[in-house]
Chains A and B, each alone.
Chain A
Amino acid sequence: MLHEKAHETHETAGANEPLHTRFADPLPRIPLVWGPATFATLDDQIAGVTERPQPGWWWPALLVTSAVLVGGVIAATYLISTGVGVWGSNNPVNWAFDITNFVFWIGIGHAGTLISAILFLFRQKWRTSINRFSEAMTIFAVICAGVYPGIHVGRFWYAWFMFPLPNANHIWPNFRSALLWDLFAVSTYFTISLIFWYVGLIPDLATLRDRAKSRARQRIFGFLALGWRGSTRHWRHYEVAYLMLAGLSTPLVLSVHSVVSFDFATSVIPGWHTTIFPPYFVAGAIFGGFAMVLQCMIPARAVYKLENLVTIKHIDVMCKFILATGTLVGYAYCMELFVAWYSGNPNEWQTFQDRAFGGDYTWAYWTMMTCNLFVPQVFWVRWCRQTPWFVLIVVTFVNVGMWYERFVIIVQSLHHDFLPGSWGRFYPTWVDWLQMVGDFGLFFTLTLVFLRYLPMIAIAEVKGVLGMANPYHTPVPDAEYLKANGRYPTQDHERAAAFGPPSNAPRAVPASPEPVPAFIASPGGTGKPWGVVAEFANPHDLLVAVRRARDAGYQQIDAWTPYPVHGMITAIGRYRSRLPLFTLAGGLTGLAAAATMQFYLSAYYYPIIVGGKEYRSWEAFVPIFFEMTVLFAGFFTLFSLIGLCGLPKLFHPVDNHPTFKRSSLGGFLLTVEATDPKFDPDGTRAFLEELGGKHVAVVEG
């Protein structure tokens, strides 16, 4: 019966059928989670980290990172109280460590968005083990970067000059300035990343709430989870909202480092002004970001024993990304060098000759080349990708190399500009160094706090990639697990199989901690029933039950699951969410606002000539068009998600059901509401028991 139903709802043959292998499978896919794991063990393993007492090394580590952070605070305080002269920046090198660190940290953030958004769009499901951590890293890295625009003016009480507000004499900021685009790009990036991170966290916050033993944890996570209970009606908006945010973040991440590259490339300084800068900066950012993810993830997976979730295959694939993006960055280095020669432009060639062959900063250039282009080439070799301590060494090189890349671009290009008379070198002061090191303190302090208090792996998403999460999953016999023709096709298969075969879906509903009465009263209830709750053992049983209930004529059905179960939305009789319309509306609103603001202010209200361009020239407005489009679309997506789901809903009649909180852990619950025309307290309850539901009870509204 299940199969006929599937054919009715899908236009293609074969959709929704059991995932049996119809053809020879000589190269079985390696599962993403290695070894036995159930929904409950995942909760214990991941959420448990935040619940158990911190491991012994955590306090000393926090002490060290916060001491380093204090160094940064001292440097910033000294800078603000004295003036930017305390830095080594000079003339001609008027920009040095400040902007180098800014670009470095912004870049670090990009891997997080790539992993969470771009890999999501490409359905690379291995991302589920690392996306939460990387997204958190994005946010912390952007905070680290955000320090510099704030303090580099020295008089930071004038930081509001950066915002689109009139300062003196009705003068507005210059909307054709790359530095203003930076403000829009970075703040949009921070906001959207935060929204994306938070939306991803909601189901996990609900898990933490439902696992909480203490009243305080229950309240804090209950408040933050907005009353998320895993309703399929909510998942249907949630999944689309997540897709929309991924779709927005993808061009956003490209735009952010492109805008950062415009800081340099819109000038005419040799070494800065070159057309490949936008994609080159993006590739470099992802490259450096991946290195930082591994830098943090490899130790974290070891100390928290997450090798079954962040497997050696994850490290392997991330190393391939580092190899690919490192080679792309190398391609850009070579293009710059080649075109500097090919152009026949003496200024351009002078800069690159000085950079690469026998100038003051040639050592930095070759440090960059070695760390970014040559060293990562070891990742062509499998052993190098699959040996964590070795990977850790290589990614350290990459992090150093990416810092030097920005240093080379910024300092080397500036120190030999058009006027040989003003050539000069840059010498960093102790304040420069302390500020730079202090940023690492900030980053690692935030990371340590995050590891401690929030789940570092997206629990709900990992649940969704378990084999048993698919309602049609048919496990292979343990003896044939990952084998083809009786043997493992590759060493990777063998390594994965060594963790043991995966767990099978539970066949029975675990007992309730307290007896479940047939009628559950709500404190201060209306006396009328809200509906009937029934619990099922696994996604398959729930899906079958939902379809039978629909066939029996029930309409107000909802399925409550810890992750979005495939096919459940159509099973409860709903269709695709219309949330994308809100996203589109948001985008158009943002675009219209950006267009009005920039054209009105720059061409009409206070016309300013910039770079000899016309007042109404549109080109330089494009970065802000784009950023505001994405910013508004992101806000609209978040608010429409919350609105369409009817959140926050901190209290709900079903909360009184003793096992209902399993809907965010490992339980699969079905409800039929009293508003259903066919609803009858006793009849519906009997019907759900007949379907195999356990802990069936009518709850008071």
Chain B
Amino acid sequence: MTTATTTDGPANGPPLTYPPGLPDDVAPMGEKAAGTVRMLLVVLGVAGVVLIAGAVVAPRQFFHSYLFGYVLALDVTLGALFWVLIHHVADAGWSVGLRRVFENITRALPPLALLFFPVVIGIYSGNLHAWYEFIAQPEPPAGSHELHQWHVKHLYYAAPFFLLRIAIYFGVWIAYATAMRRWSARQDEVGGAGLTRTMQWWAPSGVLLLGLTATFFAFDLLMSLQYSWFSTIFGVYFWAGGIRGSLSMGVLLVLALRAGGYLRHTITMEHLHDAAKLMFGFTVFWAYIAFSQYFLIWYGNVPEETQFYLLRRNGAWYEASILLPVVNFAVPFFLLLPRANKRNPVTLAVAAGWILLTHAFDLYWQVLPVLHQDTVHVHWLDVAAPVFMLAVVVLSAVWGFRQVPLIPVRDARLNETIGYENETP
């Protein structure tokens, strides 16, 4: 056990007082992370150049791949915001250390807000969503099949309303993420229960607003790829994926930190065992939601609804559709079922990495069939875009670890997270 230095401040803030008795050095990483940052910047640069090249040579492919990668990064980040908020809602104690990881992931929200502009360009250049052209046409004649559709969609997708909505979503997310992160960092300096109570007071409204905004984001960007398709559960499907994806991302970051010698005695396998149980739980939850959606549409067999799955039966998309529940549910289910696998860093890392990968596959399966309706065409942009976007997320998180202590050092519930013991029989 090493005792943390007692006065070692964040990179460029006032000196912090670390409570004596912390089992690890949790000072901000500062220059120690410079190598990681450089590496991530290289990845970001290379992927960015590839993306720009792709935008020039294959614009339609570029916009679809970009949307796929973008949504992956965004839902992981929103999931992280969910975990931060739910920690406060539940007045949790065990997850204090993990919360800092999620707080740092939410630092990706402002850059992601900027990175949304290419999506806007994609839509309004007619390269992404078909509704753009549908609502641009004049009102269909009375009695035509598309009349009702047109009436509704030209209101809902009217450009000012659409853009205003997007702005509101990002406003809500950035506001809550920033506030939670700042209060948490401020508590590192002053300690006490006051800021804990402030965060607990604001968190429930955050969960409510996050739930609503994430739902409508999913409707606006994903469900609307086939604008005449609709599914009331789609928002929940989006939550389920993002919450699970972000948990995997958080676990991978913790395991990476531990592999680098950090937090070894602070975020232990006891904490990660619980995180793994949540990953398992949300794996089942995803399957439940995915099955509910598929099953009711399959059983009802109404053409407006089945179009979603019919599109994903063409060519190799059929095999991809069968593969999805296998790789995204069955494999992680059995991987995470034994207790030993949840308590082993290697199997846990494999499971978390696997889930992140298959979650990306889930989003790929949602976005790309709209572009390649005949069969699967894997394009190099389909790799570059998610790599670029995830690099943004990881870089934002690492940037956070450079700035603030690796755990909330003066949290009111610190006693419950340090030396936490998993009580499951």
**Among residues 381 to 425 in chain B, which have CB atoms less than 8 Å away from a CB atom of chain A?**
410, 412-415, 418-419, 421, 423-425
Whether a CB of chain B sits under 8 angstroms from the CB of A251 is yes
CA gap between A342 and B228 in the complex, in Å? 9
CA gap between A242 and B423 in the complex, in Å? 13
B296 near A273: Cβ-Cβ < 8 Å: yes
Whether a CB of chain A sits under 8 angstroms from the CB of B6 is no
Residues of B with C-beta under 8 A to A622: 291, 295
Residues 312-340 of A, flagged 1 when their CB comes within 8 A of B and 0 if not, give 00000000000000010001100110010
Which among A10, A27, A276, A566 is the interface contact of B232 at CB below 8 angstroms?
Answer: A276
B419 near A335: Cβ-Cβ < 8 Å: no
CA gap between A671 and B223 in the complex, in Å? 65
CA gap between A276 and B293 in the complex, in Å? 8
Residues A123 and B423 in contact in the complex (CB < 8 Å), given A275-B233, A279-B289? yes
Residues A279 and B415 in contact in the complex (CB < 8 Å), given A258-B292, A273-B296, A342-B156? no
Residues of B with C-beta under 8 A to A380: 204
- Of A17-25, A184-192, A360-368, A511-519, the one contacting chain B is A17-25
B23 near A13: Cβ-Cβ < 8 Å: yes
CA gap between A258 and B288 in the complex, in Å? 10
CA gap between A331 and B415 in the complex, in Å? 37
Smallest CB separation, A496 vs chain B (Å): 15
B413 near A27: Cβ-Cβ < 8 Å: yes
B193 near A26: Cβ-Cβ < 8 Å: yes
Residues of A with C-beta under 8 A to B292: 258, 275, 277-279
- Of B56-64, B76-84, B163-171, B208-216, the one contacting chain A is B208-216
Whether a CB of chain A sits under 8 angstroms from the CB of B136 is no
A489 near B296: Cβ-Cβ < 8 Å: no
Whether a CB of chain A sits under 8 angstroms from the CB of B117 is no
Residues of B with C-beta under 8 A to A251: 284, 288
Whether a CB of chain A sits under 8 angstroms from the CB of B148 is yes
CA gap between A16 and B192 in the complex, in Å? 27
CA gap between A121 and B294 in the complex, in Å? 28
Smallest CB separation, A166 vs chain B (Å): 25
A331 near B299: Cβ-Cβ < 8 Å: no
Residues A331 and B211 in contact in the complex (CB < 8 Å), given A26-B192, A26-B193, A278-B292? yes
B421 near A15: Cβ-Cβ < 8 Å: yes
A12 near B268: Cβ-Cβ < 8 Å: yes
**Among residues 642 to 673 in chain A, which have CB atoms less than 8 Å away from a CB atom of chain B?**
none
B425 near A239: Cβ-Cβ < 8 Å: yes
B235 near A484: Cβ-Cβ < 8 Å: no
Which among A17, A239, A335, A344 is the interface contact of B149 at CB below 8 angstroms?
Answer: A344
**Among residues 249 to 273 in chain A, which have CB atoms less than 8 Å away from a CB atom of chain B?**
251, 254, 258, 262, 265-268, 273
CA gap between A484 and B193 in the complex, in Å? 9
Residues of A with C-beta under 8 A to B281: 121
A15 near B299: Cβ-Cβ < 8 Å: no
Smallest CB separation, A625 vs chain B (Å): 11
CA gap between A620 and B208 in the complex, in Å? 34
Whether a CB of chain B sits under 8 angstroms from the CB of A4 is no
Whether a CB of chain A sits under 8 angstroms from the CB of B110 is no
Residues of A with C-beta under 8 A to B291: 622
CA gap between A338 and B235 in the complex, in Å? 12
Whether a CB of chain B sits under 8 angstroms from the CB of A428 is no
CA gap between A10 and B420 in the complex, in Å? 12
Residues of B with C-beta under 8 A to A27: 193, 196-197, 412-413
Residues of A with C-beta under 8 A to B211: 331
Residues A343 and B230 in contact in the complex (CB < 8 Å), given A13-B1, A243-B424, A251-B284? yes
Nearest A residue (CB) for B265: A13
Whether a CB of chain B sits under 8 angstroms from the CB of A375 is no
Nearest A residue (CB) for B278: A122
**Among residues 37 to 64 in chain A, which have CB atoms less than 8 Å away from a CB atom of chain B?**
none
Residues of B with C-beta under 8 A to A12: 265, 268-270, 419, 421
Residues of A with C-beta under 8 A to B233: 275-276, 278-279
A277 near B296: Cβ-Cβ < 8 Å: yes
Nearest A residue (CB) for B411: A23
Whether a CB of chain A sits under 8 angstroms from the CB of B45 is no
Residues of B with C-beta under 8 A to A26: 191-193, 196, 412
Whether a CB of chain A sits under 8 angstroms from the CB of B21 is yes
CA gap between A275 and B413 in the complex, in Å? 40
Which among A276, A566, A611 is the interface contact of B423 at CB below 8 angstroms?
Answer: A566
Smallest CB separation, B38 vs chain A (Å): 34
- Of B65-73, B247-255, B300-308, B355-363, the one contacting chain A is B300-308
Residues of B with C-beta under 8 A to A524: none
Chain B residues touching A, range = 35 or more
Residues 336-375 of A, flagged 1 when their CB comes within 8 A of B and 0 if not, give 1001011111100100000000000000000000000000
Chain A residues touching B, range = 35 or more
Nearest B residue (CB) for A579: B425
CA gap between A294 and B147 in the complex, in Å? 50
Residues of B with C-beta under 8 A to A490: 197
CA gap between A622 and B339 in the complex, in Å? 26
CA gap between A277 and B412 in the complex, in Å? 40
Nearest A residue (CB) for B195: A26
Residues 590-621 of A, flagged 1 when their CB comes within 8 A of B and 0 if not, give 00000000000000000000011000000110
**Among residues 180 to 231 in chain B, which have CB atoms less than 8 Å away from a CB atom of chain A?**
191-193, 196-197, 204, 208, 211-212, 215, 219, 228, 230-231
Residues of B with C-beta under 8 A to A435: none
Smallest CB separation, A327 vs chain B (Å): 6
B301 near A10: Cβ-Cβ < 8 Å: no
Whether a CB of chain A sits under 8 angstroms from the CB of B124 is no
Residues of B with C-beta under 8 A to A331: 211-212, 215
Nearest A residue (CB) for B298: A619
Residues of A with C-beta under 8 A to B191: 24, 26
A489 near B193: Cβ-Cβ < 8 Å: yes
Residues of B with C-beta under 8 A to A25: 412, 415
CA gap between A343 and B228 in the complex, in Å? 7
Whether a CB of chain A sits under 8 angstroms from the CB of B324 is no
A14 near B232: Cβ-Cβ < 8 Å: no
Residues of A with C-beta under 8 A to B258: none
CA gap between A21 and B414 in the complex, in Å? 9
Smallest CB separation, A572 vs chain B (Å): 15
A121, A251, A279: most-surrounded residue (chain B CB, <10 A): A279
CA gap between A630 and B414 in the complex, in Å? 39
Which among B150, B295, B301, B425 is the interface contact of A612 at CB below 8 angstroms?
Answer: B301
Nearest B residue (CB) for A178: B299
B300 near A240: Cβ-Cβ < 8 Å: no
Nearest B residue (CB) for A6: B421
Whether a CB of chain A sits under 8 angstroms from the CB of B151 is yes
Residues of B with C-beta under 8 A to A612: 301
CA gap between A564 and B208 in the complex, in Å? 39
Nearest A residue (CB) for B236: A279
Which among B235, B300, B424 is the interface contact of A268 at CB below 8 angstroms?
Answer: B300
B304 near A343: Cβ-Cβ < 8 Å: yes
Residues of B with C-beta under 8 A to A275: 231-234, 292-293, 296-297
Whether a CB of chain B sits under 8 angstroms from the CB of A274 is yes
Nearest A residue (CB) for B205: A380
Whether a CB of chain B sits under 8 angstroms from the CB of A576 is yes
Whether a CB of chain A sits under 8 angstroms from the CB of B153 is yes
Residues of B with C-beta under 8 A to A8: none
Smallest CB separation, B284 vs chain A (Å): 6
Residues of B with C-beta under 8 A to A240: 425
Residues A254 and B288 in contact in the complex (CB < 8 Å), given A23-B19, A23-B21, A339-B232? yes
Whether a CB of chain B sits under 8 angstroms from the CB of A690 is no
**Among residues 294 to 327 in chain B, which have CB atoms less than 8 Å away from a CB atom of chain A?**
294-302, 304
Whether a CB of chain B sits under 8 angstroms from the CB of A551 is no
A345 near B192: Cβ-Cβ < 8 Å: no
The 5 closest A-B pairs by CB, nearest first: A14-B419, A239-B425, A276-B232, A26-B193, A344-B149
Contacts A12-B421, A341-B152 known; list 13 others, CB within 8 Å. Answer: A13-B1, A14-B418, A23-B410, A24-B410, A27-B196, A121-B281, A278-B288, A331-B215, A339-B231, A342-B230, A344-B149, A580-B339, A612-B301
| Interchain residue pairs with CB less than 8 A apart (5) | A240-B425, A275-B234, A276-B232, A279-B289, A622-B295
